[in-house]
Amino acid sequence: MAGLLEVMVAGGPIVMILAVLSLVSLTVIAAKVLQLSGVLAGDTIREKALAHWSQGDKTAAMAELEPGKSAVDRLLHQAMTGLRSGLPRTLLDADLEWRGNAEIAILNKNIRFLELTAMVSPLMGLLGTVLGMIQSFQELALAEGAANASLLASGIWQALLTTAVGLVVAIPAAIAATLLAARVETVANRIEASIGRLYAIEDRLS
């Protein structure tokens, strides 16, 4: 712990800002992993619901999806509700698009923050390195004859420290943002595929 504090002090305010950003980023990652952990579940239930619908048992089909634990279940249930009530397909599509966008927006929340963290952290680290190098050469110039290699090396490693910290913060944020965004995209594709299958079944029955 003492060594970590020494590193933060040596890196200056930019390293401290990056440390705070890292803590916030890791908290967001943990929260998003928990939120998205079960969003792809329920394939078996949806298969049963679509099988009931294809057999003409719409009540049983909708009952399978009633709990609505995932966005896919909720949107598919809404599509069934619309078809069962005789809502025109154009109006139903508009309603489903609105509801689907709302569901995806909830799932995408804070992923943009992780993307921003992944982009800004290396730049902040590079800024810290540039400022540190400037300070090191200023001190070297002021030292005049007393300047030596150890003084220069000390200034350079402290300056490079901010770049390293910036990358340490950025890499997990970038990986998490990519994987989480891909999971949300998979949810969107599942919604589209499920509703498409429902429409195909309904068209075949009518």
Predicted pLDDT at 150:
65
Q: What one-letter code names the amino acid at 43? A: D
Mean pLDDT of 77-89: 93
Range with the poorest average pLDDT among 11-15, 21-25, 49-53, 152-156: 152-156
Q: Give the Cα separation of 51 and 53 in Å (integer).
A: 5
Each domain of the chain, given as residue ranges in start order, spans 2-37+117-176, 43-108+191-205
Q: Give the Cα separation of 87 and 36 in Å (integer).
A: 32
As to burial, measured by CB atoms within 10 angstroms (0-12 exposed, 13-18 middle, 19+ buried), residue 11 is: buried
Question: Does the structure show a pLDDT above 70 at 116?
Answer: yes
Q: Which residues contact 102 (CB under 8 A, 6 or more apart)?
A: none
Predicted pLDDT at 1:
47
Q: What is the pLDDT of residues 134-165, one digit of tens each?
A: 877 777 777 665 556 666 666 677 778 888 99
Q: Which residues contact 145 (CB under 8 A, 6 or more apart)?
A: none
